[in-house]
Amino acid sequence: MSQFFSGQLSQLAPYTPGEQPKDKNYVKLNANESPYPPSPGVAAALNAREVDGLRLYSDATAIELKTALASQYGVRPENVFVSNGSDEALNFAFLAYATDGRGAAFADLTYSFYPVFCDLYHIQADVIPLKEDFSLDPRDYYGRNQTIVIANPNAPTGLALSRDEMEEIVKANPDSVVVVDEAYVDFGGESCVPLTQKYPNLLVVQTYSKSRSMAGARLGYAIGNASLIQDLETIKFSTNPFNVNQLTMKAGAAALAEQSYYDGNCQKIMETRDYTTRELEKLGFTVLPSKTNFIFAKKPGLAGAALYQGLKERGVLVRYFDKDRIRDYNRITIGTREQMDILLEKVRELLQV
């Protein structure tokens, strides 16, 4: 830290992304990226004409992409906000809805970026423990008078609430914004997007990073009541009006025209997830029932850190969280069937079975 860094921020502990080591070619199952490439139309959209167009600022209204997303989700363009990764939409939502003393409520085991935003903006955070089995009790979130943030399906657990359970939470907080982070919803979850038509306090955030194979393009979006979207636009135009670059917007719109390709990938990933779960269970692992593109697994008698380290030495990267309650677990991204067979082979080698 320099002597010039704001005292307001001196205690800030930044978010730690999944590692991207370059020392060897790992089977990379640590950041919930897709093992499949973007659809052919995405490459075609990033053509010489688009490269020439880089002279110009991108469209700050993002109207083409908003229109495409709106038609995909059965809403209107004014119900859509686009962001530089969904992390930015989440960032703006914390800034917009929790900084005036209202505070924020979220689970103890969830996306670890939420507490960072709270630190950054000096937001009072109410951290609500998940139940013993890592499920979330919706009743813990009724009538809170705080901004509520729920990742559904949740990370790193992979567990999901139904749309009906989410609706009860939204209904029980008419005076607070409920942010639903649906980064993983395309892998078997139930989206709350249809509820945004009915509840003016519901903001749903999604991303291209997982199910649409575009983590590197940095594209996310939020869907909600037009007045909520206006709030996010106000923050965007007060910080970075050109938050999403032109190439990414083109790529994002092109991907929507090939949705069936992505649906097929999600289907494959869900099948591979269920296969990997069964195989790990045969090896004595406990695997939480996942609605995501990762599984959260532990093996009684094998420390989480030991599994992580043993796999890393064998060229397979998974994610380990050195944190209370989940120290025994690893979060394993679902790759291709071939990648998962390598994982399983290395696990067997480690267990000497």
The residues that touch ligand PLP, with contacts defined as CB under 6 A, are 32, 85-87, 111, 151, 155, 181, 183, 207, 209, 215, 220
Contact 144, 101 (CB under 8 A): no
Shortest approach of ligand PLP to residue 101 CB, angstroms? 25
Tell me which residue has its CB nearest to ligand PLP: 85
Report the nearest approach of ligand PLP to the CB of residue 292 (Å): 8
The smaller minimum CB distance to ligand PLP, of residues 232 and 347, is found at 232
Measured from the CB of residue 336, what is the shortest distance to ligand PLP in angstroms? Answer: 19
Taking only Cα atoms into account, the Rg of the chain, rounded to an integer number of angstroms, comes to 20
- Residue number with CB closer to ligand PLP (147 or 209): 209
What string of DSSP letters covers 180-240? EE-TTGGGT---SGGGGGT-TTEEEEEESSSTTS-GGG--EEEEE-HHHHHHHHHHHHHH-
User: What is d(CA 180, CA 206) in angstroms, rounded to the nearest whole number?
Assistant: 9
Q: Which lies closer to ligand PLP via its Cβ, residue 88 or residue 346?
A: 88
Please provide the DSSP assignment of 52-65 as one string: HGGGSPP-TT-HHH
Q: Which is nearer to ligand PLP, 295 or 347 (CB)?
A: 295
Cβ 348 to ligand PLP, closest distance in Å?
29
Q: Please state, in angstroms and rounded to a whole number, the distance separating the CA atoms of residues 216 and 7.
A: 33
Question: Residue 150 CB, nearest distance to ligand PLP (Å)?
Answer: 10
Residue whose CB is less far from ligand PLP, 181 or 233: 181
